[in-house]
Protein backbone atom coordinates (compact mmCIF):
# COMPACT_ATOMS: atom_id res chain seq x y z
CA UNK A 1 0.00 0.00 0.00
CA UNK A 2 1.42 3.33 -1.07
CA UNK A 3 2.16 6.28 1.17
CA UNK A 4 -0.56 8.37 -0.51
CA UNK A 5 -3.22 5.72 0.13
CA UNK A 6 -2.17 5.47 3.78
CA UNK A 7 -2.62 9.24 4.14
CA UNK A 8 -6.07 9.04 2.50
CA UNK A 9 -7.08 6.21 4.86
CA UNK A 10 -5.97 8.19 7.91
CA UNK A 11 -7.74 11.36 6.73
CA UNK A 12 -10.96 9.43 6.16
CA UNK A 13 -10.68 7.77 9.57
CA UNK A 14 -10.29 11.15 11.29
CA UNK A 15 -13.24 12.77 9.48
CA UNK A 16 -15.48 9.76 10.03
CA UNK A 17 -14.58 9.56 13.74
CA UNK A 18 -15.56 13.20 14.26
CA UNK A 19 -18.72 13.03 12.18
CA UNK A 20 -19.99 9.75 13.65
CA UNK A 21 -19.58 11.19 17.14
CA UNK A 22 -21.73 14.16 16.06
CA UNK A 23 -24.57 12.02 14.65
CA UNK A 24 -27.82 12.25 16.57
CA UNK A 25 -29.27 8.90 15.41
CA UNK A 26 -30.50 6.99 18.52
CA UNK A 27 -29.51 3.69 16.89
CA UNK A 28 -25.85 4.65 16.90
CA UNK A 29 -24.20 3.82 20.20
CA UNK A 30 -20.60 4.20 21.32
CA UNK A 31 -18.60 3.72 18.10
CA UNK A 32 -14.86 3.80 17.49
CA UNK A 33 -13.52 3.88 13.94
CA UNK A 34 -10.60 1.45 14.14
CA UNK A 35 -9.48 1.65 10.52
CA UNK A 36 -10.28 2.48 6.92
CA UNK A 37 -9.14 0.59 3.82
CA UNK A 38 -9.62 2.49 0.59
CA UNK A 39 -9.35 0.82 -2.81
CA UNK A 40 -6.53 2.02 -5.07
CA UNK A 41 -9.01 3.78 -7.39
CA UNK A 42 -10.66 5.57 -4.42
CA UNK A 43 -14.10 4.26 -5.39
CA UNK A 44 -14.70 2.12 -2.31
CA UNK A 45 -13.71 2.31 1.34
CA UNK A 46 -14.19 -0.28 4.05
CA UNK A 47 -14.72 1.41 7.39
CA UNK A 48 -13.94 -0.85 10.36
CA UNK A 49 -15.75 0.08 13.55
CA UNK A 50 -15.82 -1.23 17.09
CA UNK A 51 -19.11 -0.96 18.96
CA UNK A 52 -19.47 -1.11 22.73
CA UNK A 53 -22.39 -3.34 23.69
CA UNK A 54 -24.12 -6.59 22.82
CA UNK A 55 -24.41 -8.24 19.41
CA UNK A 56 -27.89 -6.74 19.02
CA UNK A 57 -26.63 -3.22 19.81
CA UNK A 58 -23.80 -3.80 17.33
CA UNK A 59 -26.21 -4.68 14.51
CA UNK A 60 -28.45 -1.72 15.36
CA UNK A 61 -25.46 0.63 15.31
CA UNK A 62 -24.22 -0.76 11.97
CA UNK A 63 -27.73 -0.26 10.53
CA UNK A 64 -27.66 3.37 11.71
CA UNK A 65 -24.23 3.91 10.15
CA UNK A 66 -25.38 2.40 6.86
CA UNK A 67 -28.39 4.74 6.89
CA UNK A 68 -26.09 7.73 7.49
CA UNK A 69 -23.54 6.79 4.82
CA UNK A 70 -24.79 9.48 2.38
CA UNK A 71 -24.35 12.22 4.97
CA UNK A 72 -20.94 10.86 5.95
CA UNK A 73 -19.80 10.73 2.30
CA UNK A 74 -20.92 14.35 1.92
CA UNK A 75 -18.84 15.33 4.96
CA UNK A 76 -15.82 13.52 3.50
CA UNK A 77 -16.29 15.37 0.19
CA UNK A 78 -16.34 18.69 2.06
CA UNK A 79 -13.41 17.98 4.41
CA UNK A 80 -10.98 15.85 2.41
CA UNK A 81 -9.57 16.95 -0.94
CA UNK A 82 -9.46 13.81 -3.05
CA UNK A 83 -10.41 13.09 -6.65
CA UNK A 84 -13.37 10.84 -5.77
CA UNK A 85 -15.42 10.37 -2.63
CA UNK A 86 -15.43 6.65 -1.92
CA UNK A 87 -18.56 4.57 -1.38
CA UNK A 88 -18.52 3.65 2.32
CA UNK A 89 -19.02 0.11 3.59
CA UNK A 90 -19.25 -0.25 7.38
CA UNK A 91 -17.89 -3.47 8.87
CA UNK A 92 -17.58 -4.61 12.45
CA UNK A 93 -13.93 -4.96 13.51
CA UNK A 94 -13.63 -8.30 15.29
CA UNK A 95 -9.98 -7.87 16.28
CA UNK A 96 -10.91 -6.41 19.68
CA UNK A 97 -13.19 -9.38 20.43
CA UNK A 98 -10.41 -11.77 19.37
CA UNK A 99 -7.94 -9.94 21.61
CA UNK A 100 -10.28 -10.17 24.60
CA UNK A 101 -10.85 -13.87 23.92
CA UNK A 102 -7.10 -14.53 23.81
CA UNK A 103 -6.61 -12.57 27.03
CA UNK A 104 -9.36 -14.61 28.74
CA UNK A 105 -7.78 -17.87 27.58
CA UNK A 106 -4.34 -16.77 28.78
CA UNK A 107 -5.70 -15.84 32.21
CA UNK A 108 -7.52 -19.16 32.44
CA UNK A 109 -4.35 -21.03 31.42
CA UNK A 110 -2.31 -19.04 33.93
CA UNK A 111 -4.84 -19.93 36.64
CA UNK A 112 -4.60 -23.64 35.80
CA UNK A 113 -0.80 -23.63 36.06
CA UNK A 114 -0.83 -21.97 39.44
CA UNK A 115 2.27 -20.93 41.43
CA UNK A 116 4.41 -23.95 40.40
CA UNK A 117 4.79 -22.37 36.93
CA UNK A 118 7.15 -19.83 38.48
CA UNK A 119 9.70 -22.56 39.37
CA UNK A 120 10.00 -23.84 35.80
CA UNK A 121 13.48 -23.75 34.22
CA UNK A 122 14.09 -20.63 32.22
CA UNK A 123 11.88 -18.51 34.40
CA UNK A 124 13.11 -15.46 36.24
CA UNK A 125 12.03 -16.87 39.58
CA UNK A 126 14.57 -17.06 42.45
CA UNK A 127 16.59 -20.26 42.37
CA UNK A 128 16.47 -20.58 38.61
CA UNK A 129 20.14 -20.01 37.86
CA UNK A 130 21.98 -20.70 34.65
CA UNK A 131 24.66 -23.36 35.10
CA UNK A 132 28.09 -23.26 33.50
CA UNK A 133 28.08 -19.61 32.52
CA UNK A 134 30.75 -17.20 33.75
CA UNK A 135 29.82 -14.92 36.58
CA UNK A 136 30.74 -11.24 36.80
CA UNK A 137 34.44 -12.04 37.53
CA UNK A 138 34.76 -13.97 34.27
CA UNK A 139 35.53 -17.27 36.06
CA UNK A 140 33.43 -20.26 35.13
CA UNK A 141 31.28 -21.72 37.88
CA UNK A 142 31.87 -25.39 37.07
CA UNK A 143 35.35 -26.76 36.42
CA UNK A 144 38.43 -24.85 35.45
CA UNK A 145 39.35 -23.46 32.11
CA UNK A 146 42.04 -25.12 29.99
CA UNK A 147 43.66 -21.75 29.31
CA UNK A 148 46.65 -20.85 31.49
CA UNK A 149 45.90 -18.48 34.31
CA UNK A 150 47.58 -15.13 34.82
CA UNK A 151 49.67 -16.64 37.64
CA UNK A 152 50.97 -19.44 35.37
CA UNK A 153 51.93 -16.90 32.70
CA UNK A 154 53.82 -14.68 35.17
CA UNK A 155 55.80 -17.71 36.51
CA UNK A 156 56.77 -18.66 32.96
CA UNK A 157 57.89 -15.12 32.18
CA UNK A 158 60.04 -14.98 35.33
CA UNK A 159 61.83 -18.26 34.56
CA UNK A 160 62.30 -17.34 30.91
CA UNK A 161 60.58 -20.52 29.75
CA UNK A 162 58.51 -20.23 26.62
CA UNK A 163 60.29 -17.02 25.56
CA UNK A 164 61.84 -17.73 22.17
CA UNK A 165 63.55 -14.35 21.92
CA UNK A 166 65.54 -14.88 25.12
CA UNK A 167 69.30 -15.79 24.68
Cα–Cα distance list, 55 to 10, 96, 128 (Å): 27, 14, 47
pLDDT in tens, 11-51: 999 999 999 999 999 999 899 999 999 999 999 999 999 99
Give the least confident one: 57-71, 87-101, 115-129. Answer: 115-129
Domains and CATH numbers, the chain: 3-97 (3.30.300.20)
pLDDT in tens, 40-92: 999 999 999 999 888 899 999 999 999 999 999 999 999 999 888 999 999 99
Amino acid sequence: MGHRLLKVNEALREVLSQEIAALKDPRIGFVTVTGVETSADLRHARVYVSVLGSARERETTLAGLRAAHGYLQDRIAADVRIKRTPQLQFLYDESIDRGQRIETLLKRYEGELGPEAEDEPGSDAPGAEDQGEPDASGVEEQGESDAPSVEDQSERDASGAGNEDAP
